[in-house]
Amino acid sequence: MGFQAKDATQKKRSAVFKNKKLDSIGFVWILHPKFRSQISIKSEETTWDAAFQRLVKFQKEYGHTKVPKSFNDGDNQPHLGRWRKHYKASQNPNYGVGLVTKERKELLESLRFEWNPGRKDEFEETWMSHFEDMKKFVKKYNTTKVPQAPKGYNCSIAAALNWAKWQRLLYNKFMRDETSTITPQQIDLLNSIGFAWNLKNKTSHEKWIHEYFKLYWHHFQHNNTVISQSSGYNSDFVYWVEMQKRYYKAEKLEQGKLIC
C-alpha cells in the first residue's frame, strides 16, 4: 500500500507539472464536443472567462481585438494571442463544429471580434506584432533613437530597428500628403510609447545607446568587444569603448547601462 500511495502521489505531481507547462504556452483545453466529458467544465469556464476579460482590456486599449499571435500580457497567464487565434480558427468548418457556444459567440461579437479577417486585417495584425516588439525595445533601452541595423544581421533587434526606420519613412510620406500605408491610429500608438520620428537632437543617454549599439553589432558578428582603429573604427568610438572599461573598473558605470 505504501508503494502504491507513493506512486500515485508521484503521478499526481507529474500531472500537475505537465498541466502547468501546457498552461504556460496557452494550451487550449476546450475539446471537440464528443470529448468534453473528459475535462472539468468548471475549470474550463474559469479559464475562458479570465481570457475573455483580458481580451476586453486589450480592446479598450487598442480599439480592436486583432491580438497578434506573439502578444501576451502576463508571463504567468495563458498566451492571449494564441487564445484569440484558436477562437478565430474555430469557425472553420474543418476545425470542429460547436466549439464556441452561442453565449460565448455573442460575448466575443460584442467586442467586434472578427472571425474571418481579410488581407487588410492580417496586415494590421502583423503591424501590431511589430509594435509590441518595439514596446519591449523601449522598455529595455528607454529610447527609439537608434539607427537601423547593418545589412546582414538577422535577429529580433535588427528586425525591430529596421521596422522603425520603415515607420519613419511612411510617416514622412504621410506628413507630405503622399501615398502612405501608415494610419493616424498607428501614429498615435507609436507616439504613446515615445517613438522618435527622427534621430536628431539626442540626449546624453541616447548618444550612449547609439555608441552601445555599434559595439552590440560588432559583438554580434565577431563574438568579442575588441575594438581598434585597425579594424575600421574611428578614434572617437575606440576611445568611447576604452572609457566604458575604465568606468566599469572604477565602478562608475551606471547600473542601467550594464545592458546585454
Q: Can you read off the three cell numbers belonging to residue 159?
A: 528586425
Q: Can you read off the three cell numbers belonging to residue 175?
A: 506628413
pLDDT at 34: 45
Reported as a single tens digit per residue, the pLDDT across 177-205 is 999 989 999 999 999 999 999 999 999 99
Asked if residue 253 has pLDDT above 70, the reply is no
Return the sign of the alpha-carbon dihedral for residues 13, 18, 22, 25. positive
pLDDT at 153: 81
Mean pLDDT of 173-180: 93
CA gap 260, 252 in Å, rounded: 18
- 3-state SS class at 157: helix
Reported as a single tens digit per residue, the pLDDT across 210-219 is 999 999 999 8
How many Cα atoms within 13 Å fall on the side-chain side of residue 41? 6
Residue 138 pLDDT level (bands cut at 50, 70, 90): very high
Q: In the chain, what percentage of residues exceed pLDDT 70?
A: 68
Mean pLDDT of 168-182: 94
188 Cβ neighbours under 8 A, 6+ residues apart: none
pLDDT at 191: 96
Which of the pair, 66 or 103, is modelled with greater confidence?
103
Mean per-residue pLDDT over the chain, rounded = 78
Give the predicted TM-score (pTM) of the model: 0.56
pLDDT at 211: 93
CA gap 76, 20 in Å, rounded: 10
Which of the pair, 221 or 25, is modelled with greater confidence?
221
Reported as a single tens digit per residue, the pLDDT across 76-122 is 676 787 777 776 655 554 444 456 778 888 888 888 777 766 556 67
Q: Residue 72 corresponds to which amino acid?
A: N
Residue 65 pLDDT level (bands cut at 50, 70, 90): confident
CA gap 154, 170 in Å, rounded: 23
Mean pLDDT of 51-57: 86
CA gap 251, 255 in Å, rounded: 9
